[in-house]
Amino acid sequence: TMLPLLLLLLPAAHAIVKLQYRPTLARTPPLEGLITASTFVLDQPRCVFGGYDNADIWLVVALDKGGSTFNNTAGPGTPETAFQSFPDPVSAYMTLNATLANYPCPKPAGDITVLRVGSETSCAQDEARPTCNGPLPGPGPYRVKFLALEGSEPVAETDWSAPITLRTAKSPSSISTADSGHSAGMIAITTILSILFAILLAGLVAMLVFWGSDSCGGSSTFSKPESVSVRRYNTHHVYDQPAARL
């Protein structure tokens, strides 16, 4: 009679524990680039996995609709959870593994307690790094959760986060400058500079014309130079020498 009861209790003993924690975007301290076109920043799961000292804690990143089909028994670093195959055919990948020592509780003063998802570019195409924390391939939306594994056995997990949508770059043709204060100011400055340049150019042209006409008028009359007469002198002392008669 005890054997059937043990068989019923065996699956329950290996059931994954649901933790009452939902991953959220980082709130403190205020960060630049909280959400970009390929990354987002999460709060670390501090004081969440207490008691799982021997577990590896993984971040699972999924498309919004892929979270419901994620298999907790799929091991990290396998083709089923490789970043390089995300989002098709892999709908969720595992990355950013850590131990409980990386998430101490309470948080020591001065510790950085955030995780940037999508920050590694060097391994994005490297199939030898299936757990790469590579740039996210599109705006999403995405959902994430933390999963604790002891060996290959999932032992605890958090709830899925709310959907996270990344920023998208605007097309240049969609950017309106009609109502921009900076654009109106630039137009006014450009107009003033154009007028001043035109005035300066007109003044320069007038000066060139004046100098040209003055030069032409002065060259029409010439004064005849006076003739210079050169008188011839004889040196008398040359002829007065008596040496010729000696």
Dihedral (CA of 135, 137, 143, 148) sign: negative
pTM score, whole prediction: 0.65
Distance CA 115, CA 102 (A): 12
The one-letter amino acid code at 203 reads: G
46 or 172, which is more confident? 46
Contact 148, 51 (CB under 8 A): no
**So what's the pLDDT on residue 29?**
61
What domains can be seen in the chain, in order of their start residue?
14-167 (2.60.40.10)
Asked if the model's pLDDT at residue 187 lies above 90, the reply is no
The pLDDT confidence band at residue 109, using thresholds 50, 70 and 90, is confident
**So what's the pLDDT on residue 194?**
86
